[in-house]
Amino acid sequence: MSKKLTIGMFGFGVVGQGLYDIIKTKNLNLEIKKFVIKNADKKRSLPAELFTTDANAILDDPEINTVVELIDDAEAAFEITKRALSSGKNVVSANKKMIATHLQELTELQQQYGTSLLYEGAVCGSIPIIRNLEEYYDNELLHSVSGIFNGSSNYILSKVFNEGQSYADALKKAQELGFAETNPILDVGGFDPKYKLTIVASHAYGIFVNPDSILNLGIDKLGDADIQFAREKNYKIKLIPYAKEISNSEVVLYVLPRFINKDNILYNVENENNGVLVKAAFADEQFFYGKGAGGHPTGSAVLSDIAALRYGYRYEYKKHLESQELQYSTNYDLKVYLRYEDEELLNKVTFKNISERYYGEHYKYVIGTINLQEILDKKELINQEGNFLAELP
């Protein structure tokens, strides 16, 4: 028999409204008692008495046993989540930056207070990848987890490669549709998929990694020359986070634009859709596909977590207890394309080998092998205006 949930919700934006739209069509033995919002003057679609700007109205209410956290501010979300878990309330969150940055502490709080934090909605919208990594791949040896984790950047790249739009025009359209923010660097700079990768790696390999130590280069420096190169080779470019076990004791993590060919299952993942590719020793290769952005897809994942709490579901984090020998590593060689302007850059960035050089009238590039740690060390140099780096198949 399910337990009745009395919910206090922080935030009533796109996801919050989407979640409410779904809940009101169901009979789920739950009640939303109060919403905490930032702007008290904004007109709402629900009765005014349901809303407050006082966080204590939820956190100090003994009748509220479940907190749903759907705000943008990662540090404020952390304080809310920490206080809720410590006071015996379960929490559902979709804040990937907060979870990725504080996951180890949040896991310890759950163990200490016997509470549950669920966050399926923080990674890849409607795709249930966290629950699958926890349950289906519980005892599986995972070779790698990769995919398209960010709907905004994928929408932009789809418009560039399928409709011939420029990067600037595609970005503007994404902003008009609400897929990309006014300042889109979290998406196009690869930060959003990096936070999601941190969470995925924790459930796939049982490791806690500070996201600041993970390489992320985005598509914000993508130029016409790079698009032309891709088309000549019959490639598309996708922004891909990658987690891979490279030895019995090491896991590598990074987010880079990647040239992919038609044989890659991610080639046809378009627009705001996401795709997660899991390669395992026994299950072989499996692919998860679905909407990665929007209020209703993310709201459905949040609702799935809420529904699971009615039956006492918790992440067990068993892999963290059993996989202590696995360590995060940056010692990994990649084959990359680097388009650059200043010849001096190649004197400052060390390639293990260079297999191809191109000097054109309007741009130059090299193709070669470089160590992941070298890219991390020289990230600021590589990421300067006029340079674009992407991994090759």
Known catalytic residue: 196? Answer: yes
- Name 285's Cβ contacts closer than 8 Å, sequence gap at least 6: 277, 278, 279
Short-list 343, 377, 306, CA closest to 91: 306
Short-list 24, 30, 37, 40, CA closest to 4: 30
Which of the residues 34, 159, 196, 221 is marked catalytic? 196
Task: Give the CA-trace dihedral at 380, 383, 385, 386, to 10 degrees.
Answer: 130
Q: Strand 236-245 vs strand 90-93: parallel, antiparallel, or unpaired?
A: unpaired
In order of 15, 54, 98, 181, 306, the CA distances from 37 in angstroms are 13, 8, 18, 20, 20
Residue 292 CA, distance from chain mean position: 10
Beta strands in 109-229 (DSSP E): 117-118, 142-148, 215-216
- DSSP secondary structure, 314-371, as one string: ----HHHHH-TT-EEE---EEEEEEEES-TTHHHHS--SEEEEEEE-SS-EEEEEEEE
Backbone φ and ψ for 199, nearest 5 degrees, come out as -70, -45
Exposed / middle / buried, residue 48 (Cβ in 10 Å: 0-12, 13-18, 19+): exposed
Q: Which two tokens stand for residue 105?
A: 């502490």
Q: Which two tokens stand for residue 101?
A: 């940055």
Catalytic residue ranges: 196
